[in-house]
């Protein structure tokens, strides 16, 4: 049996073991989604304090309670700082930060460090998925050379995909399982495996033709939000000077059934990703 067939069989039977690197506001909810479907999860983080808290059944994320952590642990979830265990999972998902440098350039150091740690322990048949927001081309041009440097063949010995995270922390209407998941693969086998994996935990998988399309998708989503949030904040100040109620204006504009989506004034651009992501295109 080919390596992709063996992994596919594990995914279909839920006997697959998933590793998640980065147990922050993206990685921990993702680990929760897999654990709730009875899939074994091994979480990796460099922050020993986080790992210790999870080991005690505590949470450090507001919308994930200690009870949820307790249920995850009861279903086999484990967190560790020991990256030498990266050969244990069948799938490794990278959910690490991708901030900007002082020069407003992408800082991929966390992604690169994760890829090198995986490469050191890479075994035949593993699927590697990047979820961290980044510019189109990162998975192919940065991760792939690191993972294949020692000789393993992509699409044969290991598989590679990108699926942008879509977490909206604090939003009670959406959680990881209820948000459609965009997935792009290096090759057809990688795409099929990643789509099958996420199909176990999300309402709908949206396969796309390339890694780059999946990477660009997240940049488009957050650039759209950044532009429109900034615009409505500017309009509020303008309308205030004109004596016009911006809230009433927005409510009136919402009545249009096409070509308009309501955005509301608020502090800053919101969140972590929205102010950062557009700069990945510069």
Residue 186 belongs to what H/E stretch? none
For this structure, is 95 an active site residue? no
More confident residue, 1 or 256: 256
User: Residue 103's pLDDT is what?
Assistant: 84
Of 273, 276, 277, 278, which one is the catalytic site residue? 273
Res 281 pLDDT > 80? no
CA distance 177 to 148: 32
- For residue 72, the tally of other CB atoms under 10 A from its CB is 24
CB proximity list for 131: less than 8 A, separation 6 or greater: 26, 30, 93, 94, 95, 162, 163, 164, 165
Res 141 pLDDT > 90? yes
User: Using 50, 70 and 90 to split pLDDT, how confident is the model at 169?
Assistant: low
Q: Which residue reads 């409505």 in tokens?
A: 232
Of 150, 147, 167, nearest to 159 by C-alpha is 147
CA distance 166 to 225: 13
Could you report the per-residue pLDDT of 27-46, keeping only the tens digit for each? 999 999 999 999 999 999 99
Res 207 pLDDT > 70? yes
Cα angle 31-36-76, degrees, rounded to a multiple of 5 = 70
User: Residue 97's pLDDT is what?
Assistant: 92
Res 282 pLDDT > 70? no
């Amino acid at each position: 049996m080919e390596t992709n067939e063996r992994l596919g069989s594990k995914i279909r039977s839920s006997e697959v073991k998933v590793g998640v690197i980065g147990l922050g506001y993206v990685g921990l909810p993702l680990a929760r989604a897999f654990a709730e479907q009875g899939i074994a999860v091994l979480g990796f983080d460099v922050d020993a304090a986080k790992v210790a808290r999870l080991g005690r059944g505590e949470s450090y994320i507001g919308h994930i309670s200690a009870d949820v952590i307790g249920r995850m642990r009861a279903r086999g979830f484990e967190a560790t700082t020991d990256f030498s265990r990266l050969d244990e999972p069948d799938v490794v998902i990278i959910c690490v930060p991708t901030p900007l440098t002082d020069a407003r350039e992408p800082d991929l150091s966390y992604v690169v460090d994760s890829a090198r740690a995986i490469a050191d322990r890479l075994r035949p048949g593993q699927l590697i998925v990047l979820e961290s927001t980044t510019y189109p081309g990162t998975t192919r041009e940065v991760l792939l050379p690191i993972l294949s440097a020692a000789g393993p063949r992509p699409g044969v010995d290991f598989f590679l995909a990108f699926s942008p995270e879509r977490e909206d922390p604090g939003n009670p209407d959406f959680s990881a399982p209820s948000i459609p998941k965009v997935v792009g693969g290096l090759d057809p086998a990688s795409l099929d495996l990643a789509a099958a994996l996420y199909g176990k935990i999300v309402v709908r998988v949206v396969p796309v033709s390339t890694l780059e399309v999946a990477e660009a998708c997240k940049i488009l989503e957050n650039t759209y939000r950044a532009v429109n949030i900034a615009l409505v904040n500017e309009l509020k100040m303008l309308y205030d000077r004109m004596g016009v109620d911006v809230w009433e204006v927005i409510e009136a504009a919402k009545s249009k059934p096409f070509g308009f989506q309501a955005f509301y004034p608020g502090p800053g651009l919101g969140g972590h990703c929205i102010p950062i992501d557009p700069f990945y295109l510069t």
